[in-house]
Structure 1
Amino acid sequence: INTYRKPTHTDQYLLWTSEHPTIHKMSVIRTLYHRANIITEERDRKQEDKHIQHALKTCRYPTWAINKGKQQTTTERKEQPKQRTRNPERQEPKPVITLPYIRGITEKIRATMKKHNINTPTKPYTTVRNRLVHPKDKIPAGLKCGVIYEIPCKLCNKTYIGETGRQLNTRTIEHRKECEKEASRKHTRAAKEEAESTIKKSAVTDHCTRENHVMDWDNTRIINTEQQKYKRWVEIRRCGP
């Protein structure tokens, strides 16, 4: 019995030179040899080994990596399966932080996190799919939901940073209407004192009322997109409105 491959099979695996963590590439080697160990008969295993080595070398895998992956699967095969035992004192699960893989940087961060007992799985940072595949039309900025946005003032260098889970246009229209409503009030001393003592719906309305300024609505821009409300709040605090 040998490993069956379709006539259309190309032996194209994850390239060794691709921007992926080394552990992902080593898992490709182990998977191929593990399959050979559990499917291929002893008499056909030598031929399968040659096929695997040829396919991996075509994908630019170095000899040392192929030998190491093969050795790991051989060792696992010889070891007896461990019996699972219940631990009465259940340990707390390790915290997990998923890191984007950037060669030379992610490894250093993982080493630091490991000292603090933090598990750090990695994922590709930039892929061909992310760069080339865009099946949907680009959404206009005003129609995007779950955004952190910035509105500059026309008369000073201050900006308002806010967040919304709805469409950006919907929220900016609300801001604009409230500011225009406050600006249309009679400019009497009593009206001014009342306006200053009233708690406004947002800081942008408060700024326009107290300073008698106008926001530059046409230059509203999106700082970031985030669907989770709490993460938007964290982003606002980070930006320091």
Structure 2
Amino acid sequence: MITDTAARHEEEQHIKHALQQCQYPRWAIEKGKQQVLHKNKNRKPHKPKKKDATTDNKDTITLPYIRGLTERIQRAMKKHNIHTAVKPYRNIRQLLVHPKDRIENHQKCNVIYEIPCKSCKKTYIGETGRAFTVRKHEHKKECEKETAGRLTRTEHQRAQQDNLKSAISDHCKRNNHVMDWDKSRIINQESNKYKRWIKEAIEIRKRGADTMNRDEGSFQLSRTWDSLLQRPPAGRGRGQPDRTVRLTTP
């Protein structure tokens, strides 16, 4: 807003000349000038609003609305100059939208799993992108098929030479052992297939001779990691730190 008289007069002449160049008639220019002067004359001076000091310093808390209880809390908070806001105790979203049910461990997919032998300390390490319960059922079905009935001496000698499809079936038939299917468990979960192969190879290498696996899995893990993945000696005394290193894949 221009307050200097000379500058204001100069600005008015500039606007008037610009409007004349745009073919505005003289009467329209004068009428517009009078309207502006009348508007400025009746304009009220701006006064900043006074802030209520009592409301500025109020703390605010949000309460769930419970009929009969929330009102009592509000009255108590008001005495201490604390403002309270109320929200519904339960809303429509909570009533209508329900989260997904938790997936049971045996139904999980993309896992690395362990199946122990009931007759010795060896375990089988495997991985699958399907549900764990499906893969375990396949192992169990094949193992029961291959080990059904008693083995004669001749059949036992033949079993020592045959290589069955599954390492589990191979182990049970050669040694006349039984797998502990009830204690099978998921030891890791990974959706990325390549990373899952790496984690399977790590678990196999960590157990060393305690696995019945015939190979080291789909990923060929470098022998450089052996010193980190080897298990602590069986005679390690109680209270001594476990120096086994757990690796995570990138």
TM range (shorter): 0.3 to 0.5
Q: Which has the higher contact order (CA 8 A, sep 6+)?
A: 1
Larger Rg, first or second structure (1 or 2): 2
